[in-house]
């Protein structure tokens, strides 16, 4: 694959910010310095950026919407902290200032946040400590909130003055700033309390009011979001003027990613996440640039088997059957067939390169069809067995299962692929009504963000429950040191390996393709267009 790097990326990095980490026994303080921006060449202002998104957003209320995406929210809303992904080989991600200019652990689990004094919402109301308190409490307490996990550890919030508040945590939170930044897919973005209260939640979901670089002009569900620049945004660009650089941003919902690739080449859109089979052609086009988004690997199929014996599945009660599935699939071949040269066989469910705890020396299930047949026979199914898997009826999710289906049939496992629309598939997952469930799994910069294998976690769709793993989640939640957390994660993976409920075939990076005249999107990894500008 040809790989073109945005020429403005190397010279526009946010200054390294000292990250505070919270631990029960240690005082941690992060004083976050303003961004230092040194342009590689002069930015240009004006124009309309058009972005293609393949999944429509059903509501523009960032606290209540089922869409967990920073791509849309970061344009309209601001975060307490900023996130800059790795900008080059060997770099790491950075958490820096945004609405919060600093935070400090005062004592124990009491955090003090200092807010900037020049931020306002699109309706002209102040973005002050009272507004931040209202937002965090709404995200935590609203019965329809989809952001509860990010703030469930907050027990009390006290406003000290207009730009200072203190937050009491129920327990130490090593990733406090990460959770409240766009690095977290379920980040709590700040909205205008006055707008919500005056408009009502239904109207607000169509015409939201934030403080981000763009404000909503028009929203057509399943079609597009039209935004225009907000002239009073607090963040300053490389030219000393308020961001954004573009006059407007249109986010179009284009469910067929191949269509988006065609429109990108035609010049009717500026940026998209294309299908893997389109990337080589796009990369060869001199008018198109591509870049890999760091720490956003996607894994397919993310396949898990029910652990509920009451559903009557033999696979739930016999680890040999689950191990047979693991050994029957040739992950290397699956990656070669499905990855178009970009995929890599993957063996560690939920952990990815660059994420604490990822370790290729850990145990893994190698391709061994004879071993799979032996395990089936030992479990009393030498003549074969069937397994139903539910999946959303869309090509990128179904095709890997079709490859897996052929491999499993070779050892005597009949994989029955049950195709569902998105809503009934979600209902099946949330209710635990499945023998096996499949979708895509995506990387997080730290597994603690989602706790996908912890009993009771809203991200634990598999319904997996192991007291030993739960104890490790409890332990790691109080650990500030990254290396120490990584070792605990390795212990988790060893237990999960033995249980064998989870399977992944291959991982593939997220690759953004964009007009060669569009610059600055590498600074956010493509999650927002606040730094994007069009070469005129």
Whether residue 32 contacts residue 102, with contact meaning beta carbons closer than 8 Å, is answered with yes
pLDDT digits (tens, 9 = 90+) for 386-405: 999 999 998 889 999 999 99
Q: Delineate the domains of the chain, giving CATH numbers in brackets.
A: 29-287+516-534 (3.40.190.10), 295-509 (3.10.105.10)
pLDDT above 90: residue 84: no
The pLDDT value recorded for residue 107 is 86
Identify the bridge partners of residue 30 per DSSP, sorted by sequence position.
103
The pLDDT value recorded for residue 515 is 95
- Residue 19 — very low, low, confident or very high, per pLDDT cuts 50/70/90? very low
- Residue 26 — very low, low, confident or very high, per pLDDT cuts 50/70/90? very low
User: Higher-confidence residue: 377 or 28?
Assistant: 377
Give the closest residue to 391 by CA, choosing from 420, 429, 416.
420
Copy the structure tokens of residue 445: 């910069």
Copy the structure tokens of residue 157: 């919030």
| Residue 25: how many other CB atoms lie within 10 Å | 8
Share above pLDDT 90 across residues of the chain, in percent, rounded to a whole number? 66
Q: How far apart are CA 356 and CA 484, in angstroms?
A: 9
The arithmetic mean of pLDDT across residues 59-74, rounded, is: 85
Q: How far apart are CA 191 and CA 181, in angstroms?
A: 15
- Residue 99 — very low, low, confident or very high, per pLDDT cuts 50/70/90? very high
DSSP 476-502: HTT---HHHHHHHHHHHHHHHHHH--E
The arithmetic mean of pLDDT across residues 249-258, rounded, is: 92
Secondary structure string (H, E, C) spanning 256-291: CHHHHHHHHHHCCCCEECCCHHHHHHHHCCCCEEEE
The pLDDT value recorded for residue 527 is 65
Average pLDDT of the chain, as a whole number: 88
Backbone CA torsion sign across 344, 345, 348, 350: positive
- Residue 14 — very low, low, confident or very high, per pLDDT cuts 50/70/90? very low
SS3 category, 292: strand
In degrees and rounded to multiples of 5, residue 474 shows phi and psi of -60, -40
pLDDT above 70: residue 300: yes
pLDDT digits (tens, 9 = 90+) for 110-144: 999 999 999 999 999 999 999 999 999 999 999 99
The arithmetic mean of pLDDT across residues 75-84, rounded, is: 94
pLDDT above 90: residue 156: yes
User: Higher-confidence residue: 454 or 31?
Assistant: 454
Out of 23-37, 93-107, 501-515, pick the least confident: 23-37
Whether residue 477 contacts residue 447, with contact meaning beta carbons closer than 8 Å, is answered with no
Give the DSSP H or E segment for 378.
helix 369-378
The arithmetic mean of pLDDT across residues 473-500, rounded, is: 93
The pLDDT value recorded for residue 457 is 82
Q: Tell me: cis bond preceding 244? Omega within 30 of 0 counts.
A: yes
């Amino acid at each position: 694959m040809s790989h073109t790097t945005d020429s403005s990326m190397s010279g526009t990095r946010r200054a390294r910010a000292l990250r505070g980490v919270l631990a029960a026994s240690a005082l941690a303080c992060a004083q976050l310095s303003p961004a230092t921006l040194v342009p590689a060449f002069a930015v240009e202002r004006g124009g309309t950026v058009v972005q293609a998104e393949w999944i429509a957003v059903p509501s523009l209320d960032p606290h209540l919407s089922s869409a967990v995406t920073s791509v849309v929210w970061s344009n309209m809303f601001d975060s307490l902290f900023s996130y800059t992904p790795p900008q080059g080989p060997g770099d790491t991600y950075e958490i820096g200032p945004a609405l919060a200019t600093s935070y400090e652990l005062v004592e124990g689990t009491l955090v003090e946040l200092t807010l900037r004094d020049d931020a306002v919402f699109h309706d002209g109301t102040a973005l002050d400590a009272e507004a931040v308190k209202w937002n965090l409490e709404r995200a935590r307490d609203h019965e329809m909130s989809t952001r509860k996990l990010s703030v469930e550890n907050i027990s009390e919030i006290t406003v000290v003055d207009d730009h200072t508040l203190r937050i009491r945590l129920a327990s130490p939170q090593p990733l406090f700033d990460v959770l409240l930044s766009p690095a977290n897919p379920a980040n709590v973005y700040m909205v205008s309390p006055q707008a919500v209260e005056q408009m009502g939640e239904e109207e607000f979901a169509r015409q939201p009011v934030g403080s981000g670089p763009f404000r909503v002009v028009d929203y057509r569900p399943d079609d597009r979001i039209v935004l225009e620049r907000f002239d009073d945004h607090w963040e300053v660009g490389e030219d000393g003027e308020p961001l954004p650089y573009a006059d407007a941003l249109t986010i179009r919902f284009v469910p067929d990613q191949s269509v988006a690739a065609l429109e990108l080449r035609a010049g009717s859109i500026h940026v998209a996440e294309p299908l893997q089979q389109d990337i080589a052609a796009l990369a060869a086009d001199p008018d198109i640039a591509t870049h890999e988004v760091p720490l956003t690997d996607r894994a397919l199929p993310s396949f898990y088997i029910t652990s509920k014996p009451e559903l009557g599945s033999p696979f739930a009660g016999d680890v040999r059957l689950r191990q047979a599935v693991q050994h029957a699939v040739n992950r290397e071949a699956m990656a070669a067939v499905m990855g178009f040269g970009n995929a890599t066989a993957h063996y560690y469910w939920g952990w990815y390169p660059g994420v604490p705890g990822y370790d290729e020396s850990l145990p893994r299930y190698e391709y061994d069809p004879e071993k799979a047949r032996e395990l089936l026979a030992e479990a009393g199914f030498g003549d074969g067995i069937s397994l139903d898997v539910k999946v959303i009826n869309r090509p990128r999710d179904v095709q890997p299962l079709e490859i897996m289906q052929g491999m499993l049939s070779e050892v005597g496992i009949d994989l029955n692929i049950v195709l569902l629309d998105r809503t009934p598939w979600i209902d099946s997952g949330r209710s635990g009504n499945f023998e096996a469930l499949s979708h895509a799994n995506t990387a997080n910069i730290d597994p603690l963000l989602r706790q996908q294998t912890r009993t009771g976690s809203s991200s634990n769709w598999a319904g997996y429950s192991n007291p030993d793993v739960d104890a490790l989640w409890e332990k790691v939640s109080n650990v500030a040191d990254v290396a120490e957390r990584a070792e605990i994660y390795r212990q988790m993976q060893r237990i999960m390996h033995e249980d064998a409920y989870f399977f992944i075939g291959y991982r593939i990076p997220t690759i953004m393709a964009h007009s060669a005249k569009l610059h600055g999107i590498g600074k956010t990894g493509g999650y927002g267009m606040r730094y994007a500008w069009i070469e005129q």
